[in-house]
A and B are shown apart, each in its own frame.
Chain A
Amino acid sequence: MAALTKEETEALIQEVLEIYPEQARKDRAKHLAINDQSLEKSNKCITSNRKSQPGVMTIRGCAYAGSKGVVWGPIKDMIHISHGPVGCGQYSRAGRRNYYVGTTGVNTFGTMNFTSDFQEKDIVFGGDKKLAKIMNEIEALFPLNKGISIQSECPIGLIGDDIEAVAKKANKEINKPVVPVRCEGFRGVSQSLGHHIANDAIRDWVLENRDGDESFATTPYDVAVIGDYNIGGDAWASRTLLEEMGLRVVAQWSGDGTIAEMEKTPKVKLNLIHCYRSMNYIARHMEEKYKIPWIEYNFFGPTKIAESLRKIAALFDETIQAGAEKVIAKYQAEYDAVIAKYKPRLQGKRVMLYVGGLRPRHVIGAYEDLGMEVVGTGYEFGHNDDYDRTIKEMGNATLIYDDVTGYEFEEFVKRVQPDLIGSGIKEKYIFQKMGIPFRQMHSWDYSGPYHGYDGFAIFARDMDMTLNNPCWKQVKAPWKTAESSDVAVAASV
């Protein structure tokens, strides 16, 4: 199918909005836009980070998900207590596939679920005593933990527990960082505020721990990787490239990360931000307080990787710049081969995306490297500054949708007829049942890594494997296909 023109896209948006009552229509209209590369600022065409409409199917998560699930959860040597009822933590346990090295239950705790399992009496009489008790239990059972974070679920804020006081007391008793995080699910409009609250908690309770302590030997090439959650091993595939070009990666935030790495981050020379949405706050804070500059980079697909490596290297001396060139040259044969193999199979295919914090714009380059085109994209919980960064990456007249509703997404897909959709688990089965190839782009559909040159090879293979899978021809019931009558006749003869 040919790409939609600007007028057709406009008509499509109007058509989709038609079904809403007037108030909802007005509101949703602000969240749907046609990309126009000539715009400098996204607020001219799209509104974001607003409360979702009641009654629509939104795909967003809550602040607790943003803090526990995204920012804090992957810090592997700390124990993160999901403070409140058991469900919030248990139903999200280990779902993000943040890989880590360590022995789970001994010195790392990433895939385990710790909860204070609130019962009615805790809601009525408060849960502070229980919290203090379980922290002592944790210390006894898992003595190798390096600290505890308290991730508040909704009831904590509602009943007014004083988790800060409990944390301070526990901190003295166990002599390890104990971090209370006020990330109750009802705060804000999406998981985005949870990221911010989590960043603020790191700022207030972790970052200063080694101020004035100069015992850590630094080098001029120290960097921290910020906003890489090591999904399917992403941070490892990124880290190797940075190290090969001569940099020293002091900390990974927070995939496969530790609290000690976080405490050392104020000593680095440069912060490298992959997921801008979830961790720009802490980067800006470190810039102001410790004068550490930060830059955004993109490790999806060879074009963007090379661009990013050079951009990073430009901030260092010639050895690093030469290192970057060496890395790019070293992997060239490898990624050229990947492109030579998969591009002919994927050329011209059209993709629609709807993901979280950075992927709606960051993966566009990787698809383009494979000759594919992204014809629609949107963020679950992006802000204006995310859309500002997206406009230039997307083609003109392509669709942009913020906090898209289940209904809108389905209608857009029916009309745009993309060859592939990249979105989350909640969308996956709807579109697969519609017969459209789908990749789960939050946790890489049990695959990965997708970052770095190694990741690109896997990314290309996965896209090909999904898109050109013969199963999509079998989605229609056999008696509903055109050939079926011939086959039936042939069989009866």
Chain B
Amino acid sequence: MPSVMLKKNAEGKLVFYVPKKDLEEVAESIEFDNPEKWGGEVLLSDGSKYYFEPMNEQPDFPVTLRAKRLD
């Protein structure tokens, strides 16, 4: 369960940062990404997948959330 720092970059894409691993990646896709529901499976540009517990609103980026690694 790594802590992941999430922020939006200049292009509005979600940037994923795991401090312990120096992992800095852009998210390719997010399972739920609308005003009512956010989270689920997130696919990163390096091919790895993470899972965020879905929530009922968009988080206020930048924010640190806990994620589960899927692969």
Contact = CB atoms under 8 A, between A and B. Distances in A.
Interface of A: 40-41, 49, 281, 284, 287-288, 291, 383-385, 388
A287 B61 CA distance: 9
B55 interface: no
A384 B5 contact: no
Nearest to B6: A288
B1 interface: no
A380 to B, nearest CB: 16
A384 B45 CA distance: 16
Interface in B1-31: 5, 7, 17, 19, 21-24
Contacts of B19: 281, 284
A40 B5 CA distance: 21
Interface centre among A287, A288, A383, A384 (most CB of B within 10 A): A288
B22 A288 contact: no
A203 to B, nearest CB: 12
B64 to A, nearest CB: 6
Contact of A284 (B5, B45, B46): B5
Contacts of B21: 384
B64 A384 contact: no
B63 interface: yes
A277 to B, nearest CB: 10
A324 B25 CA distance: 31
Contacts of B22: 49, 383-385
Given A41-B46, A287-B62, A288-B63, A388 B24 contact: yes
A357 to B, nearest CB: 13
8 contacts: A284-B19, A284-B62, A287-B62, A288-B5, A288-B7, A288-B62, A384-B21, A384-B22
B66 to A, nearest CB: 14
Contacts of B17: 284
Nearest to A383: B22
Contacts of A383: 22
A414 B21 CA distance: 35
Given A41-B46, A284-B17, A384 B23 contact: yes
Contact of A288 (B23, B24, B46, B64): B64
Given A288-B64, A291-B62, 7 more contacts: A41-B46, A49-B22, A281-B19, A287-B62, A384-B21, A384-B23, A385-B22
Contacts of A288: 5, 7, 62-64
A384 B22 CA distance: 6
A200 to B, nearest CB: 11
Contacts of B64: 288
Contacts of B7: 287-288
Contacts of A41: 46
A39 B20 CA distance: 22
A273 to B, nearest CB: 14
Contacts of A287: 7, 62
B63 to A, nearest CB: 6
A282 to B, nearest CB: 12
Interface in B21-71: 21-24, 45-46, 62-64
A49 B21 CA distance: 10
B67 to A, nearest CB: 15
A291 B63 CA distance: 10
Contacts of A291: 62
Contacts of A284: 5, 17, 19, 62
Contacts of A40: 45
Nearest to B46: A41
B59 to A, nearest CB: 11
Nearest to A314: B10
A287 B7 CA distance: 9
Nearest to B45: A40
Contact of B24 (A49, A281, A385): A385
Nearest to B24: A385
B20 to A, nearest CB: 10
Nearest to A388: B24
Nearest to B7: A287
A33 to B, nearest CB: 16
A388 B64 CA distance: 23
Nearest to B21: A384
Contacts of A388: 24
Contacts of A49: 22
B65 to A, nearest CB: 11
Nearest to B63: A288
A415 B22 CA distance: 33
A279 B46 CA distance: 25
A320 to B, nearest CB: 17
Contacts of B45: 40
A196 to B, nearest CB: 8
B21 to A, nearest CB: 8
Interface centre among B5, B19, B45, B62 (most CB of A within 10 A): B62
